[in-house]
Chains A and B, each alone.
Chain A
Amino acid sequence: MGPLFPQEIIGEELNILIGFFIGIGFGFLLEAAGFTNTRKLAGVFYGYDFVVLKVFFSAAITSAIGLFIMNQYGIIDMSAIFYPKTFWIPTLVGGLIMAFGFIIGGFCPGTSMCAAVTGKIDAMVFIGGALIGVFFYAYTYEPLWKELRDSGAMGKVNIAEWMGIDSGLFILILTLIAASAFYAVTIIQKKVTAKGDYQI
């Protein structure tokens, strides 16, 4: 029964090796989906290319459904995985800072790394900026960020429980929302690209 490493069913070396191979799959798919092209990424905000939305929601929902079923069958113990705690204030503020970063810089960290190693010079510059950003944060952590980062603590919160509904029902609603969004963005993308101005 999973997760295997946290329950000491597999050792650390094997765990790291598995992580490496999982990373290869993730990186391969990000590149194959076109996530190294900054214009394809920005397209989600301007209507000419919704690849980000399609890949992102397909991945999150696949994982949510898979883990939900595995948890039901006792194949994985969700209480033993790394479950992100919710600190709503820094997540909201940090998320808005990242929104600026995304729309100005045209990448997020994962996509910039894939883009940089496959030759995109703008992505190399983005990573340089990101490292400076992390250094700046690290050296100003105690005076500027510590208090904000620890505010709004809510512990481990499952959104379905928080809304007072069953996890399965939440996943169903999320899937229906995503399916409607996929349908809508396909129409929007056709209209926007038909004008001819926004072809990549």
Chain B
Amino acid sequence: MERSKKYMNPYLAGILIGVFMIAAYYFSGEGLGASGALKSVVVATTDMVAHDYATEHSYFSARVSDPENPPIKTWLVFEVLGVLVGAIISAAFAGRLKLETIKGPNVTTKTRFITAAIGGLLFGIGSQLGRGCTSGMVMSGMGVLSLSGFIGLMAIFGGGYVLAYFFRKLWI
């Protein structure tokens, strides 16, 4: 396999992400999130096509009933748009911008797509139930020593280690 530019030292990358997290808390009082943007997309779409449904159901109504604070114009959505831009810049510099599918050595592309879709579906549900994902709930929660961040850490990574054996054929 042809090598593109090497990856950044993981400790350096982690420390710099920590610095950006501190900046996010200092300027905006927010952590670094990702799954909240998915929620914004779903809320905004539903509000657009079925406004009455959205105002009547409690999952949506807190977000759509306030005209001063439309669901798409939130800090998190712009932060995530930045994430997309930042990833493209880094990949462009490193020569990693190309269409490809990455998978374990013993699975077909079809299997990879099916498992990616199922995994995404579960992450979508889990992140809503758990009030955030690996970034917004666990990493940013740990950064402010919130108990929920550490419970999430145990559940996601502890759970992952327990499950890893059963799904090893997907990855090794």
Contact = CB atoms under 8 A, between A and B. Distances in A.
Given A99-B163, A121-B101, A159-B147, A130 B82 contact: no
B90 A27 contact: yes
A45 B171 contact: yes
A177 to B, nearest CB: 12
Contacts of B156: 95-96, 98-99, 102
Contact of A84 (B8, B38, B146, B160): B146
A97 interface: yes
Contact of B88 (A60, A117, A123, A149): A117
B90 A170 contact: no
Interface bracket on A = 35 or more
A63 B19 CA distance: 6
Nearest to B146: A84
Contacts of A102: 119, 123, 134, 156, 160
Contact of A22 (B24, B37, B84, B120): B24
A172 interface: no
Interface in A1-35: 2-6, 10, 15-34
Contacts of A134: 35, 38-39, 41-42, 124-125, 127-128
Interface of B: 7-8, 10-11, 13-35, 37-39, 41-43, 46, 57-60, 73, 75-76, 78-91, 94, 96-104, 112-113, 115-135, 137, 139-152, 154-164, 167-168, 170-172
Interface of A: 2-6, 10, 15-34, 36-39, 42-46, 48, 51, 54-64, 66-67, 70, 75-76, 78, 80-88, 90-110, 112-115, 117-123, 125-138, 141-142, 145-146, 148-149, 154, 156-160, 162, 167, 170-171, 182, 197-198
23 contacts: A2-B26, A6-B29, A19-B28, A22-B20, A23-B85, A23-B86, A27-B84, A33-B8, A34-B7, A84-B31, A96-B126, A98-B127, A99-B162, A103-B167, A104-B170, A106-B115, A114-B86, A127-B120, A132-B124, A133-B124, A138-B128, A146-B58, A160-B145
